[in-house]
Amino acid sequence: MVETVICAPVNLPVGPIRRHGIGWWGAGTLIASEGALFAYLLFAYFYTGATAPAGWVLEPSPPLKLALPNTVLLLLSSVAAWWGEQGILKRERARALLGFGAAFLMGAAFISIQLMEWHAKAFGIGTSSYASLYFVTTGFHLAHVVVGLLVLLAIFGWTALDYFSPQRRLVVSAGVLYWHFVDAVWLFVFTTYYLTPYLGFGR
């Protein structure tokens, strides 16, 4: 006699608990796709630069005076967002609000400094292929920072409304994950545009 299997599980979580939920997978696919987008942007940079005559990079020694501290600032904002998320986990709402608020302000400062960078460039978007790539790639990143700020703002507002608990907070974790992604991808952009010329690429 063959038996019929019936799956009768006990005590299943109902809806998203902690990070456990399909929303987390959704955030993962979004980040995979966005990560690919930046990979293609950087491919465009390296391919165009590698096939261009010498002197392609318009700034053989890109100034790091603003860019390096700005990079550190963005990374610290990731830490702030993480610290805020821990606040949700520990039921400390004030800490969470402080963390998300600080991350938001640091992200906003990053944008201002990046705009100053843009303003200080001796070239414009139409000067050459290098200039076009520089502005469009950093522009794509800025656009992602803006989206990330809107996400932080939403999380801040929802936390202020006391929506979350250590168990029910997938939205927060997914939003913070996106912010980490926006910051991590900047490291690749920064390395490509600000550091590889020092190694000789495109000079």
Partner 1 sequence: MMQPELRTPTVGIDSVEHAARLLPLWETAPGWKGFFTTVDHKQIGIRYIVTAFVFLALGGVEALLMRVQLAGPNLSVLTPEQYNQLFSTHGMTMIFLYASPILSGFSNYLWPLLLGSRDMAFPRLNALGYWIYLASGLFLYAGFVTGNGPNDGWFNYVPYATRDFNPGLNEDFYALGMVFLGISVTVGAANFIVTAFRTRAPGMSLNRVPILVWGTLTASVANLIVVPAVSLAFFLLWMDRQFGTHFFDPAGGGQPMLWQHLFWIFGHPWVYAIVLPAMGMVSDGLPVFCRRPLVGYSLVALSTVATMIFGFGVWVHHMFATGLPGLGLAFFSAASIAIVLPSAVVVFAWIATIRLGRPVITTAFLFFASMILLFVIGGVSGFMTASVPVDLQLTDTYFVVAHLHYVLIGINVFPVVGAAYFWFPKMTGRLLDEKLGRWNFWTMFIGFNLAFLPMHLTGLLGMPRRVYTYADYGGWGTLNMITSVGSFVFAVGVLLFFVNVIRSLKRGALAGKNPWDAPTLEWSTPSPPPPYNFAVIPTVASRHPLWEGRLGGDGALSSLDRGMMLDHGKETVGTSALDAVPDMVLEMPADSIAPFMLALGLSGLFVGLLLKSWTSVGIGGAIAALAILVWLWPSTELREREPAHG
| Nearer Cβ to partner 1 (51/65) | 51
Question: Residue 186's Cα: distance from chain center in Å?
Answer: 7
CB of 58 to partner 1, least distance (A): 10
CB of 137 to partner 1, least distance (A): 10
What string of DSSP letters covers 67-121? HHHHHHHHHHHHHHHHHHHHHHHTT-HHHHHHHHHHHHHHHHHHHHHHHHHHHH-
CB of 72 to partner 1, least distance (A): 28
| Nearer Cβ to partner 1 (24/83) | 24
| Nearer Cβ to partner 1 (13/60) | 13
Q: Is 177 exposed, middle or buried (0-12, 13-18, 19+ CB in 10 A)?
A: buried
* Residue 176 DSSP class: H
Identity at 78, one-letter amino acid code: S
| Nearer Cβ to partner 1 (25/198) | 25
CB of 186 to partner 1, least distance (A): 17
Question: Contact 156/143 with Cβ under 8 angstroms?
Answer: no
Among candidate residues 104, 180, 118, the one with its CA nearest the CA of residue 146: 104
d(CA 82, CA 103): 9
| Nearer Cβ to partner 1 (29/119) | 29
Contacts with partner 1, residue ranges (CB under 8 A): 2-17, 20-23, 25-26, 29-30, 32-34, 36-37, 40-41, 43-44, 47-48, 51-52, 56, 125-133, 136, 150, 154, 158, 161-165, 167-168, 170-171
Among candidate residues 45, 37, 111, the one with its CA nearest the CA of residue 73: 111
CB of 54 to partner 1, least distance (A): 12
CB of 195 to partner 1, least distance (A): 21
| Nearer Cβ to partner 1 (75/153) | 153
